[in-house]
A and B are shown apart, each in its own frame.
Chain A
Amino acid sequence: MTTKNLICIGCPMGCPLTVIMEDGHIEVTGNTCQHGADYAKKEVTNPTRVVTSTVRVLGADIARVSVKTAHDIPKDKIFDCMEEIKRTSVCAPVRIGDVLIRNCAGTGTDVIATKNVPRAGALPKE
């Protein structure tokens, strides 16, 4: 039997949740609504996050283009993803949604641009 304490992020209440796991059975206490139970179950079985960061961009007026994983990835893969993001650099122009890293860190999820970055000097003035 394992016990885990979490804080629900469903609303400002921030209910303190206690999750008890035993033989594949999950029991959630401390929640005041169904959202809390759903959140806790996902957190203890398959916690995932969208990772956001920046990638070096060459030939642009700015140094970095912001990026994100196209979908949420397993929480324990966050730092593997970051390692690959840090090693990457791209050339301007970049458009929102461009795939900058395919299948990042073997997660099956691409890393995509979240900002339009035109070539250096191509920014419209007015």
Chain B
Amino acid sequence: MKQCDIVIIGGGPAGLAAAIAAKKAGADDILILERDSMLGGILNQCIHNGFGLHTFKEELTGPEYAARFIDEANALGIPYKLGTMVLSVSRDKELLCINPEEGLFRIAAKAIILAMGCRERPRGALNIPGFRPAGIYSAGTAQRLMNIEGYCVGREVVILGSGDIGLIMARRMTLEGAKVKVVAEIMPYSGGLKRNIVQCLDDYGIPLKLGHTVVGIEGKERLTGVTIAAVDEQRRPIPGTEEHYDCDTLLLSVGLIPENELTRGMGISLSRVTSGPQVDDRLQTDIEGVFACGNVLHVHDLVDHVSEEAALAGESAAVYLQKQKTSVPHKVTINAENGVRYTVPQSLDIDNMKDAVTVRFRVADIYRDRAIVVCYDGTEVMRRKKKIMAPGEMEQVILKKSSFSDFPALKEITVRTEAE
């Protein structure tokens, strides 16, 4: 059986950044497994610009951002297999893979980095009544059909959900000559970035209807129209508010789900909030030597954060290979409370942590004039005022190793919001 020090599952932005960091941290025997026919993952179809402002201090398009990492991985001589699907992974890190050249084969890995990304919530998850005609796509599928395969997806479009991909596709389809009639969002706020609402909808006069959803789908062969209605606080449609739109295409941009079938098969604990694995400050899951990063861990807004997070996973895997088994770690749980939906990581090993650990999280609602508060065993150690926080924009706090010196018997860290 083929042996490998570090196998990285997924050759998108997370997998590439993890591979590069692992190599730079001294790991030599690395292999990236990618199921698509090219490296770069979802960035290949994200042809709009705005990527890399944090990492490269310039605005790149998705393919350009990916190319920087692909070029670096190639320069470092990191091997990869394309068209290769991982079917399952055992708890002792044996991978069962398949591709057209080698057929079914196994790889025994010393460390594994999970970087499989996420996928879109489909129509089936929404319970929209009506027919099932052609012309209903998840926004990312439409994006791939249009930007990579070169198809015209539709001419008269309604978009349900105001996630970033839906907003980006509203502009993209408008530029290609389609008429985007409305974007309906069931929540009272948009889950997308402000910049995208302004530059993708307002620029082209596309209305955004907050607190609205699709209640009817018409058309037998091809979609001919949808009905949209306002919803109450419980997100139930309000009778009498229905509006009909003629359209041949409905795009769904209603959320992303980390793709953790392999992770679940390994018996790794998943977070019920993020749907990703639970990890410590080295992004290690509860199987030693298995790390996770990028959208498979939790869904990000910015690829820059994915790259940064993945680099930590790559470095952690390299360090894991070099190190003898450490003493029993002093693991402290990180609790999310009062308006903080979750944190990543979910725990911290104080003895072995880096000098600073970035804890990322999302808030539960739109908050104005609130503070982010961090407590160690109930003692407040950090308070940061925020004018505004929104569920669509990831927040972070940085915990310094030095801050724990006064708390030798620490049991839990709490991150929460408080009204100012």
Contact = CB atoms under 8 A, between A and B. Distances in A.
Nearest to B168: A52
B233 interface: no
Interface stretch (A18-26, A56-64, A99-107): A56-64
Nearest to A61: B37
A56 B82 CA distance: 24
B70 to A, nearest CB: 8
A113 to B, nearest CB: 9
Contacts of A63: 148-150
A116 B67 contact: yes
Nearest to B60: A114
B67 A64 contact: no
Interface stretch (B15-23, B119-127, B196-204, B315-323): B196-204
A78 B177 CA distance: 12
B5 interface: no
A103 to B, nearest CB: 20
A115 B38 CA distance: 12
A68 B147 contact: no
Interface stretch (B129-137, B279-287, B388-396): B388-396
Interface string A78-89: 110010001000
B63 A66 contact: yes
B308 interface: no
A115 B67 contact: yes
B150 A54 contact: yes
- The range of chain B's interface size is 35 or more
Interface in B128-159: 146-150
A125 B64 contact: no
A75 interface: yes
B67 A9 contact: no
B198 to A, nearest CB: 5
B150 A52 contact: no
Contact of B197 (A7, A13, A75): A7
A123 B81 CA distance: 12
A14 B199 CA distance: 13
A73 interface: no
B29 to A, nearest CB: 15
B38 A123 contact: yes
Contacts of B203: 49, 75
Interface string B58-99: 011111100100000000000111100000000000000000
A5 B88 CA distance: 54
Interface in A7-45: 7-9, 11-14, 32
Interface of B: 37-38, 44, 47-49, 59-64, 67, 79-82, 101, 146-150, 175-176, 193-195, 197-199, 202-203, 387-390, 392-393
State the 9 A-B residue pairs at the shortest beta-carbon distance, nearest first.
A63-B150, A66-B47, A115-B63, A114-B61, A9-B195, A14-B194, A64-B150, A12-B393, A114-B64
8 contacts: A9-B195, A13-B388, A14-B197, A64-B149, A68-B49, A96-B67, A114-B60, A123-B37
Interface of A: 6-9, 11-14, 32, 49-54, 56, 61-64, 66-68, 75, 78-79, 82, 86, 96, 114-116, 123, 125-126
Given A9-B199, A63-B148, A125-B82, 4 more contacts: A7-B198, A12-B390, A56-B150, A115-B64
